[in-house]
Structure formats: structure tokens, C-alpha cells
Structure 1
Amino acid sequence: MSDAMTLREITDFAENLARKAGELVRREREDNTLRTDYKHQTELVTHADVMADEFITGAIRKRFPAHRILSEETMPDLSQAEELDTPLWIIDPIDGTVNYAYGHPQVAVSIAYAEKGQVQAGVVHAPFSDETYRATKGEGATLNDKPIQHSGATEPRQSLFATGFPYTKDKLEPLINRLNAMIHQCRDLRRIGSAALDICWVACGRLDI
């Protein structure tokens, strides 16, 4: 455990960072100051991604200088993450960057804390809907401090499922084939545009798969 902090205190710290970063990215978009660019020639990125990343990683380094960070800007070798002696923070400053750039509300700041390759705490904050999902190992998960649970759906035909698509389009055919098979076996399909929110929506019952 870090500096004798409990996992709940770690989660509180992560939530505070996620909320502040969320306010930053919300303000940048509402002020119409967005600047966009591309990573690897295909992946959209905005200056707000970089600003939020620097804010979050800077705060973590100040509070926990010995910890490792996996983020948009800092990517350590994680081939043996479970053997790391120091805790690891996993950050996506804006999950749903394309949504963000186009003015859609499905955007999230995602922060997780792991020890020896196992996630112990996590926070996902959606700044445009003011929803905060958080979970601490052994304590369940909440949405805006209220407990959440999965829908309990077990039959695909009664299930609403979500999917996403990669930035690179050269290997889409296998995915399209799987979607074609799935769409005939489920209630319906949603494409949210934020993987973090997909997972949270499954956790709270807005999606089944």
C-alpha cells in the first residue's frame, strides 16, 4: 500500500484527479479552443488530451514519486507488470476523443491503480453528464456514490450489447463478420464511442454485454 494510504483513500485521490481533469476538458471544449492533431497518422488527439494527461500524471508524480504511470504520454514496458515492485497507475485522460472533438457527451476520464499487475481501484468520470463511477477492491462499485449492479441478463436474445471499432481499418473484416453473427442473436447494438463508458454501462445495467 502506498505511504500507508488505504485503498479507499487511493480511490478518493483518483476521483479528485478525475473530476478536476474532467472540468479541464469540459472547459476547453466549451470555450471553443480545441486544437486537433493525429497520432500514428490515424488516431485523433486534441490539446485537451495532452493537458489532462499532464495534469493527472503531474499530480501522481508529486504525491507518489516512486510509482509507475501508463498513460497517453508515458508508456513503460508492461510485459511483466505483475512483477513490478512499485504500484502502477493506468490513465486515459480522454476516453472517447473523437466524441469529444465532435461535441458528443460520451466522454470519460479514466484512472486505475494497480499493484503487482492487479487493479485495486478505479475511477471513470464522465464530465458532460456529471457521472462518476468508482470501485475499490472488496467494496463493490458505485455511480455517484450509489451502489450499482449488472442487469443479470444471461440470454443473448434479451441482451443489449456494445462494440467499438479500431482506428486502423485494414483488419475490419473479421470484426464485421462477428458483428453480423451477433446482431442476429441479440436485442440490439450500441456504439457508444468510449470503451470506459461501455464497461461502466455494463456494470450499472445500461448495457448487458
Structure 2
Amino acid sequence: MADASPDLVKFDDEDVMNFLEAAVDVARLAGQKIKEAYLLEKRVEIKSSAADLVTETDQLVEKKIIGTLQEKFPDHCFIGEESVAAGQKIELTDAPTWIIDPVDGTTNFVHSFPFVAVCIGLAINKNLVAGVVYNAILDEMFTAIRGKGAYCNDAQIHCSGQEDIKQSLVMTEIGSSRKQEHIDAKLKNIEAIVKNGVHGVRSLGSAALNMCHVARGDSDLYVEYGIHCWDMAASAVILEEAGGVCADPKGGPLDIMSRQIICGSSQKLVDTVSQLLTHIDFERD
């Protein structure tokens, strides 16, 4: 059971399992919509920069996810990327709150690059308790419940446990900001990581899938500045339940509203890379 404080929402393991099952079901429905639109011509709009894109699929899929979950759980709250883009305020309270990115990797989707994910995270009492990340193009369903392990297509997954930066594959992104100081800092970070002898640096174009691949042991660490709470909420649960570590790049615990994350296969690797970074500040969610 959750903390017995009268100010906190009460829930148990069965409740969270029901919530996860509903999220998996709606992620599959959303994924089918994405898959149907994947090879078709897209109508693309620009948000904050020429690299920050949105399509009608993003908007339609988010409406489908929220509408379906709202019908099942009318007392729950929602934070969705496209709802926020349309003017909705981000509010994370103790109430069960679904944190949704309908199409993580929109630029990939526009270019038919097959790393596109439906992301549905759940926070209760402001703590992340469950996550679903579904790559419909590759039919990979990543799921986790806090304390119950992490899975891909129902097979349990684990981080690599790698501690040595010189034996690591690191993931990062340039991101959508085209401010010169942001580009310079991110390129400086990549250079610092490469100079410390990593095996390589990779970018999938999806924060959530970068994290899920660390969770599955395909890579060892991921760091990014400028992402949002909906990019990392679901995958943070998955990665931690796979035995990994999620943190603030400047040190301290992960704050999903801070727009920055470092996560890896071990605390030692996270600490090593954190010390190499030029930190970047973005406005909080």
C-alpha cells in the first residue's frame, strides 16, 4: 500500500497493475494509428524551431490516449505534450497523473526513420510508478511497474551494469534548440565524452527509446538537456526497474520537470560522465 498519510492518494499493487494494463492497451491502439500513417505523406507544422515538428498524427493520437484513459479513470489528471503546446498548464499534483508523449521522435516519424514511440508514464503522489514505451514500427513494448522489474515484449530486461566509460556506448542528442550556445555546449559534451575513450556515441532521435535501450543493455548511458517531462517519465521507471540509475546531470536525484537527465547502467558511470559535462539551463516545465 502507499503511505497511509491522509494527504496522499491510496493505491495498491492491483490498482497499478490495472493502470498499466490500460496504458498498454491504449498504447497499442495509438501505435496502430502511427503505423498506418508512418509511410504516408505527413502534414507537418513547426513549433519552437525548424527542428521541433508536430504532425496531425501527434495531435490525433494524444486525443485518443487521453480520451480512452479519461473514460476509464475519470478522476485522473493528464499532462500531454500537444495539450501543453495548445496552452494547457503543466500541473503535477498528488492525484494519479498520466504524462504522455503521443509520438516521441516526431522528426523520425516525418522521415520514416523507425525509432518512434508512444510514451505513457503514471505518477501518483508525484512519484513515478509505471511506464509504457511502445515502438509500434518495430513492435517493441517496454513496460515497468515500480518494484516489479522492467520488460520488453514480456521478457524481463536489465541494464548492462557497465561501470567503465572506456567500455561504454553512450547515447545523446543535439535536440531541437538551435540557439548557438546550446549547440556549442552539446557538441563540447560529445567531444569530452569521446576524448575519454568511449566505444562510441549514438543518437536514436527519441529520448524515451534512448533510455529504453540503456534499460535493455544495448547501450550504457544517455544524457540530454532540453527535453521535457513527457519525454522521460515513462522510460525513467523502465530504466530504474532494469537496474539503472536516473539522475540530474548536475548531481542529485532526477527531477522530471528540470528538462535534463543523465541515466546509465551504474552509479559509477553516471558520476564519471556527469563530471565531464558542460551544463545547460533550460526553463523548467
Report the TM-score when normalising by structure 1.
Answer: 0.92
Match of 1:137 among 142, 146, 149: 146
Report the TM-score when normalising by structure 2.
Answer: 0.68
Q: Segments of 4+ in structure 1 off by > 6 A? A: none
Kept in 1, the 8 Å contact 2:121–2:132? The answer is: yes
Higher relative contact order (CA 8 A, sep 6+): 1
Structure 1: stretches of 5+ with no match in the other structure: none
Aligned to 2:185: 174
Shift of 1:158: 0.1
| Amino acid of the structure 1 residue aligned with 2:90 | D
| Amino acid of the structure 2 residue aligned with 1:179 | I
188-197 or 56-65, larger mean C-alpha shift? 56-65
Structure 2: stretches of 5+ with no match in the other structure: 1-9, 222-285
Match of 2:104 among 95, 104, 108: 95
After superposition, the CA RMSD in angstroms is: 1.7
Structure 1 position 190 matched with structure 2 position 198 = no
Count of matched residue pairs:
204
| Amino acid of the structure 2 residue aligned with 1:180 | E
Kept in 1, the 8 Å contact 2:35–2:136? The answer is: yes
Within 5 A, what are the aligned runs for 1:64-75? 64-75=73-84
Q: Secondary structure at the match of 2:81?
A: coil
Q: Secondary structure at the match of 2:160?
A: coil
Aligned to 2:6: none
Within 1, Cα distance between the matches of 2:54 and 2:82? 12
Within 1, Cα distance between the matches of 2:59 and 2:28? 16
| Amino acid of the structure 1 residue aligned with 2:185 | P
Structure 1 position 155 matched with structure 2 position 164 = yes
Q: Alignment identity in percent?
A: 33
Kept in 1, the 8 Å contact 2:130–2:144? The answer is: yes
Within 1, Cα distance between the matches of 2:113 and 2:76? 34
Within 5 A, what are the aligned runs for 1:76-87? 76-78=89-91, 81=92, 84-87=93-96
Aligned to 2:132: 123
